[in-house]
Amino acid sequence: MSNHPSLTAQHTLFRFNRVPVIAQPSFWPLLLAVWGILSWIAGARRPRRPWPQRLLVGVLALPLALSAEIGHALAHTISARYAGAPMNRILLSSGMPRTLYTDNAVSPTAHRLRAMGGPIYNALGVALSFVWRRRATPRSLNRELADVACASHGLLLIASLAPVPIVDGGVLLKWTLVARGEPSAAADQAVHRVSQTLGIVLASTGAALILWRRKFIGGLLCAAGTAALAAGLDLLR
């Protein structure tokens, strides 16, 4: 997660590790959307739960889901400073958080170290939330919240390590190839080809699962495959 187009209307929420965290207007509707999804999941898990309770569970789960996503970006400030190539700012918008660097003329090792902070944070989040889940009483609210934390960190960990240009896995793959002697442009092309192939495989698998009436998992794979293919074709940045 590196560069992003020029910033428009923005608001600095806070600073973390001396890095400003900036929210664009499109970030706030995203919070409502995530709250709605979490409330829907709370109802899907317990259909007899009244709507006020569903909305309350969504409110309680929202910080857990956001901590996985925003915490991932904040963790990059630590790995970037450790790499000797500090981050300039974090941008929150309707998409995934963007970590922005003014100076990208750094060594392949620095690029890879900067990209490792987020996945390490989510891996720790998966481990801790799994322990929380094991200790929580089955079918309790505590267990539901632990599930949200575990799923949020787990999904983000998997997504961030995918060999796709716009996420950490693509950065790690590119600069590993460069460190092995591949020209930067050729390494970029290789990552894009891998991303396209991954997208086709995921989307095809998802479509097959939908035909086999595994609509939920199939839909997720189709969405992930479409995103990977779009990123590989430079349609998603």
The yes-or-no verdict on residue 7 having pLDDT over 50 is no
Burial code (b: 16+ CB inside 10 Å, e: under 16) for 41-78 equals bbbeeeeeeeeeebbebbeebbebbbbbbbbbbbbbbb
* pLDDT, tens digit (0-9, with 9 covering 90-100), for 210-234: 999 888 889 989 999 999 999 999 8
What does pTM read for this prediction?
0.89
Mean per-residue pLDDT, 32-47: 94
Phi/psi for 182 (5° steps) reads -75, 135
Give the span between the Cα atoms of 226 and 201, in whole angstroms: 10
Mean per-residue pLDDT, 133-138: 94
Q: Token pair of 131, please?
A: 């322990």
pLDDT band, residue 12 (cuts 50/70/90):
confident
pLDDT band, residue 10 (cuts 50/70/90):
low
